[in-house]
Structure 1
Amino acid sequence: MNNISETVHAYSKKASELNEVIVRMVFDSYGVDKYESHNESTNYLLRLLKYGEPTENETEVGLPPHEEMSFITILCQNHVDGLEIKTKDGDWIGFELTPPSSFIVMAGDALTVWSNDRVRACTHRVVMSEKATRYTAVLFSFSSKILHVPEKLIDQQHPLKYKLFDHMDYVDYFFSKHIGPRPGCRYKSYKLFDHHLQIKDF
């Protein structure tokens, strides 16, 4: 058991270091500094997931289309594929990890808000059709600070769309407090609810 815990901890540490590098690349690409402050306020959640093979009465199983509520999500899997990404045109494309040690990096809802809609959260699903079990290790990153759109990401082509965004309150609301069907776009629907801090369109 200790060996498993040590392995998971070691993987989490390396994956979080990769997340920090990715955040720095994103901030630098937009000419925004303070990525160190963002990384210092980042919390992580690691989930180990198992997708079983379809039974005799099932043609396919998996996970329905969704976006992550994280800032960034980093995914690593075994040799069994199943992840599909939705393109801007609405098509679904299968994603293969080659070699198996590769990673998938996906933008989450919070990155969409922070970037003022410049980076869109990745819509994806899992479709399991082959007779094999898929294992994945998924690292989610969340900001413990109140996010706001940097001034450099606001211009005539990209007017300010969001005010303050309490990332952890957003996650807590949709995990434990939201009642009813899942909104089509969570981060845009979040502004409609009665919160101390919320996303607000101008």
Structure 2
Amino acid sequence: MGEVDPAFIQDPEHRPRISFTEAKGIPLIDLSPIAKTLHPSSDEVSAVVREIGNACEEWGFFQVINHGVPLEMRQRIEDVSRKFFAQSLEEKRKVRRNEKEVYGYYDSEHTKNVRDWKEVFDFTIEEPTIIPASHEPDDKEVTEWTNQWPDYPLELREACQEYAQEMVKLAYKLMELVALSLGLPGDKFHGFFKDQTSFMRLNHYPPCPSPHLALGVGRHKDVGALTILAQDDVGGLEVKRKTDGEWIRVNPTADAYIINVGDIIQVWSNDKYESVDHRVVVNSKRERFSIPFFFYPAHYTMVKPLEELTNDQMPAKYRAYSWGKFVTTRKQSNFRKLNVENLQIYHFRIPE
């Protein structure tokens, strides 16, 4: 997967530590009480809402079981993912992403971020996805992002599309719980995702000969609303604990999904819920597979603290920003150097 950047090896902030704390603290939440009803007056549902709120506030991460996603559907997409990545590099690069085709295959040898020891296949949920044509503030033009699908495995496209719809349903369910935990109506966030820009990624982390010198994914925060992650039994995800800054390993739980709050929810909640740092460590002997779903709103969404959660005593902590321009800037910066810094939500923070 390419040589590790020597500067990276010498960077203690990004280099993985040899020891870590096992993730006994990351909440595991049973969603079975909401299978039939999401009425907040139900004691069982109220308990789930409290668990979600506590997890979002204290960790920014949690796992869910009894989530309603058919196991056979998850198994199918995991199987086709393994088949796709087992192909030769030449075959996979036939659907390699580029500035025009922003979704598809890429590996760490052909990205600026040589620190990431992995290869991926990305696809958008809404096809086409409507997005601003450029990052320039005054440019009102929009463009369409579409998927590239490989010839093999034949069933990959269907498996991905079917599974994606299950992720969308679960994401809406989780957003309802998040809304209720903030004291908002359950459907408060639904309108933001009417023309969603969400996408999904198939991840493959090959065995790394020097796992103490590299990361599968470096330390980062997710820019969207929610991320829903399926990981195999190899594991490797680590979360930076808010209380003391220690890296906590998220051990695999059979059939569970790992959920984390993204930057958009941090802004919407006016910092009540925080997007937290996480990373992926690699394994010297075993390959690892994972499938994250990134829940993104419509491109025309102006992301800002919700009026219901701000007042004179708790004023808005962020200026509004255009999600479409934000995500376009991020995508375009993957392929060429732009005349703007790679955006982060702290660029929109209002000084106290």
- TM-score (normalised: structure 1): 0.84
Query: What's the % identity of the aligned pairs?
Result: 26
Query: Which residue number corresponds to residue 157 of structure 2?
Result: 5
Cα root mean square deviation, aligned: 2.3
Cα drift, residue 150 of structure 1? 1.6
Query: Which residue number corresponds to residue 134 of structure 1?
Result: 288
Q: Which amino acid aligns with 1:173?
A: T
Is structure 2 residue 309 aligned with structure 1 residue 164?
no
Which moved further from structure 2: 39-48 or 125-134? 39-48
* Residue of 85, 91, 94 corresponding to 2:249: 94
- For residues 169 and 134 of structure 1, the distance between their equivalents in structure 2, rounded to whole angstroms, comes to 33
Q: Where does 1:17-36 land on structure 2 (aligned, <5 Å)? A: 17-33=169-185, 34-36=188-190
Indicate how the Cα distance of structure 1 residues 107 and 58 shifts in structure 2: closer, same or farther if over 3 A, else same. closer
Consecutive unaligned residues of structure 2, counting only runs of 5 or more, are 1-152
Query: Which residue number corresponds to residue 195 of structure 1?
Result: none
Which moved further from structure 2: 59-68 or 43-52? 59-68
Deviations 1:58-103 (A, max 9, x none): 535321100011111111011111000001111001001211x211
Indicate how the Cα distance of structure 1 residues 50 and 181 shifts in structure 2: closer, same or farther if over 3 A, else same. farther
Cα drift, residue 43 of structure 1? 2.5
Q: Where does 1:145-184 land on structure 2 (aligned, <5 Å)? A: 145-155=301-311, 158-177=314-333, 178=338
Query: Which residue number corresponds to residue 71 of structure 1?
Result: 225
More strand by share: 1
Indicate how the Cα distance of structure 1 residues 12 and 3 shifts in structure 2: closer, same or farther if over 3 A, else same. same
Which moved further from structure 2: 43-52 or 165-174? 165-174
Number of residue equivalences: 190
Q: Which amino acid aligns with 2:245?
A: G
8 A Cα contact 2:200 2:293, kept in partner: yes
Greater RCO between the two (CA within 8 Å, min separation 6)? 1
- For residues 203 and 232 of structure 2, the distance between their equivalents in structure 1, rounded to whole angstroms, comes to 11
- For residues 320 and 341 of structure 2, the distance between their equivalents in structure 1, rounded to whole angstroms, comes to 25
Deviations 1:124-180 (A, max 9, x none): 000113410111111111112222322221146632112322112112223325568
